[in-house]
Chain A
């Protein structure tokens, strides 16, 4: 095949765009994370590991663990809600299933910041939940729901639930029904079939769902800002403050690099789960 100009153009476009706006920026962030903060030039030489050392200072380590815990809670709730949901939806007729997915995606079309604000209307002291609880006489005075960790987890779960449900539905779709029937014929009960067949074979969906819920959850600073009050609840809040307020870029970058490392570990876990399922004779690895 001759090197047509069109061909050369699209190859160069592809490589140049990705090099300039993906590869170089990531490299620069890693570089920034080992530089010295500077008020005027943001980051200067010499190379130092100070930023990484500071992550372990109690103040930041606390937020870091708190952020991990909040994201983990949100991820777990998404999984507990999303798994049965995906199971029920995947078993429906194609038309119903399409309709259910449509319903699930519609809220996604409204800006997530606006939806987060909507939760404020539910959880506020004058919000819908308190109003209903008072009206039916369960409580006398409003319960503090907004500006608590509960509110943040509620919001994260709300924004991220569709991201958990979609990969789960696709992995239930691929589940070979014959295997379950075989289990049934061999005398396995419901829980046995679930534990030995359904759960392992849908594991890639579970891991994929957790991956695309857990990591973004840590970064969603606007959810913590609006629902958790002005506290540093999530890693995203620290990173945002270091970059946009305090202007300590190396420190903010060090946190991001840590996040990238966690992502790498989780991806590795995903591939391991997928490989295991393939060995068990399950699915192909087209879950992502």
Chain B
């Protein structure tokens, strides 16, 4: 393959991936409601988004769920990875397969399994059901990330600590935690993204009392074009780009140090 062909092909792929996002971002600054006749630069839709309480509330709720579920999934997932890596216990293989099932199952299947169990347990659909569902579908990704990091280090350290009489929780705090810290950070970020991105599972397990972004956006864009959604997408993109850049820089400094 020639160089020009390769570059052209990559260019086309990235055009495909970025064109829709670019159109959103450009339109978020368009004075006119319908793009394509550019009526001039304006912050009008940003003001409108800011004053759209329902959408802002849903946005806030989504961020809240994403932060909480990412944090909980990281804590629980890291502990699970440790249990699976370090201890022998009955049903360990089953636990591994169940995590695999969560990772591989299409969202729609997970969505109805969550809905069915919440109804069976009598958990009201809303904040808690969303939180539990989001934690659960993020778990396998955290477990895999942390497990990979655990696998890469020297077991003798743990044994030495044990021989010197350190308790299990002390070993975890003083040795394991610092070692898996990078995995914890990337596990958290991945969970945060997965939670913010989820549409399918959330639309099944949410209730009328607690509205999150996908549900709100879905009802807004079903009827037609909504300039506030363009703005929202732009804001989300800026937030995530900042996050990714900060993390990349942090990681880079850490490996160089």
Interface hit among A13-21, A44-52, A181-189: A13-21
| Cross-chain contact A28 with B113 (CB below 8 angstroms) | yes
Does chain A have a CB within 8 A of B179? Answer: no
* Residue interface bits A115-140, CB-to-B below 8 A is 1, else 0: 10111111010111001000000000
Residue among A81, A111, A225, A240 making CB contact with B236, cutoff 8 Å: A111
* B-chain residues with CB within 8 Å of residue A143 when the two chains form the complex: none
Residue ID in chain A nearest B114 by CB atoms: A25
A25–B116 contact, CB under 8 A? yes
Tell me the smallest distance from the CB of B6 to a CB of chain A, in Å.
Answer: 5
Q: A111-B214, A119-B20, A122-B19 are in contact. Are A219 and B200 (CB under 8 A)?
A: yes
Cα(A135)–Cα(B78), bound, Å: 55
Query: Main secondary structure on chain A at its contact with chain B?
Result: helix
Is B84 a contact of A14 with CB atoms below 8 Å?
yes
When the two chains form their complex, are residues B17 and A107 in contact, meaning their CB atoms are under 8 A apart? yes
Enumerate chain A residues within 8 angstroms of B9, measured Cβ to Cβ: 84-85, 88
Whether the pair B240, A85 counts as a contact (CB closer than 8 A) is no
Q: Is the interface of B mostly helix, strand, loop or mixed?
A: helix
Scan residues 167-216 of chain B and give those whose CB is less than 8 A from a CB of chain A: 167-169, 172, 193, 196-197, 199-200, 203-204, 213-214
A29 at the interface (CB under 8 A from B): yes
Q: Are B112 and A6 in contact (CB under 8 A)?
A: no
Answer whether residue B229 sits at the interface, using C-beta atoms and an 8 A cutoff.
yes
User: In the complex, given contacts A18-B94, A108-B193, A263-B106, what are 4 additional A-B residue pairs having Cβ atoms less than 8 angstroms apart?
Assistant: A7-B87, A84-B9, A222-B203, A288-B103
Task: Spell out A's residues near B (CB within 8 Å).
Answer: 1, 4-7, 10-11, 13-15, 17-18, 20-26, 28-29, 32, 42, 81, 84-85, 88-89, 100, 102-104, 106-115, 117-122, 124, 126-128, 131, 158, 161-162, 211-212, 215-216, 218-222, 225-226, 235-236, 239-240, 243-244, 249, 252-253, 256, 259-260, 263, 267, 288
